[in-house]
Amino acid sequence: MTSHLPQPVRSDARDNRARILDAARAVFGEEGLSAPMREVARHAGVGPATLYRHFPTKQALFAETFAEQRRACHAAVRDALTDSNPWHGFRSLIERICELHAHSRGFADAFMTAFPEAMDFAADRERTLHAVRELARRAQKTGQLRPGFVVDDLVLMLMAHRGLQDTPRAARVTASRRFAAYMIEAFSAAPATGAPTPLPPAPRLQLTHSPSTP
């Protein structure tokens, strides 16, 4: 175990690093991972070189930028597993993950994308999926989660959820909530006979402008 002696870090460096991370969260959260590094640098009030000194590559910046959201995801899974009602835990998990993905546009991409190896997302993912598998098993036992469900279905829906992210922020979270509600409806074994579950408000969606129009 390497004991880091508190190598004197210059204050401006530490400040800039923090400002860069804030800027990255804002920019990538609003414009997605395709936002130029220069935009982050401008937003942080530093030069490109400074940005690259702190984070040698764009992916390195991604990893640090979304560390917090990753922790939030872990927490959501943990909470879902410890919920005394598995089906309620399962539903809450879906809602929380969708909310997280909807609030920063880049995070869903970072989360659902297998990066070359920079991040240890892979390991993460394996453990997480295992946990969800267990949760699903329990929720199926109560008869509330439909029997045909497999964890890949959640992955499927989360990948689909990414399709909502090319949408203005305001509509995005509303759309995301409605999508989550439909997802839960689709996964549930048998909606209350007669009265269907009420849904959150429907978003007024407008089409994307524009995927390849420089």
- From candidates 18, 75, 150, 170, binder to a copy of itself by CB under 8 A: 150
Positive or negative: CA dihedral 54, 59, 62, 63: negative
Using CB under 8 A as the binding rule, whether residue 157 contacts a copy of itself is answered as: yes
Instruction: Give residue for tokens 């203005």.
Output: 168
| Residue 9: CB minimum distance to DNA, A | 5
| Residue 63: CB minimum distance to DNA, A | 13
Distance CA 21, CA 51 (A): 10
Identify what 5 binds: a copy of itself, DNA, none; CB under 5 to 8 Å per kind. none
Identify what 12 binds: a copy of itself, DNA, none; CB under 5 to 8 Å per kind. DNA
Distance CA 55, CA 69 (A): 19
Residue with smaller CB distance to DNA, 54 or 101 = 54
CB 107 within 8 A of CB 150: no
Using CB under 8 A as the binding rule, whether residue 117 contacts a copy of itself is answered as: no
Identify what 4 binds: DNA, a copy of itself, none; CB under 5 to 8 Å per kind. none
Identify what 76 binds: a copy of itself, DNA, none; CB under 5 to 8 Å per kind. none
**Beta carbons within 8 Å of 153's beta carbon, 6+ residues apart:** 187
Distance CA 173, CA 101 (A): 9
Using CB under 8 A as the binding rule, whether residue 170 contacts a copy of itself is answered as: no
CB 70 within 8 A of CB 78: no
Using CB under 8 A as the binding rule, whether residue 167 contacts a copy of itself is answered as: yes
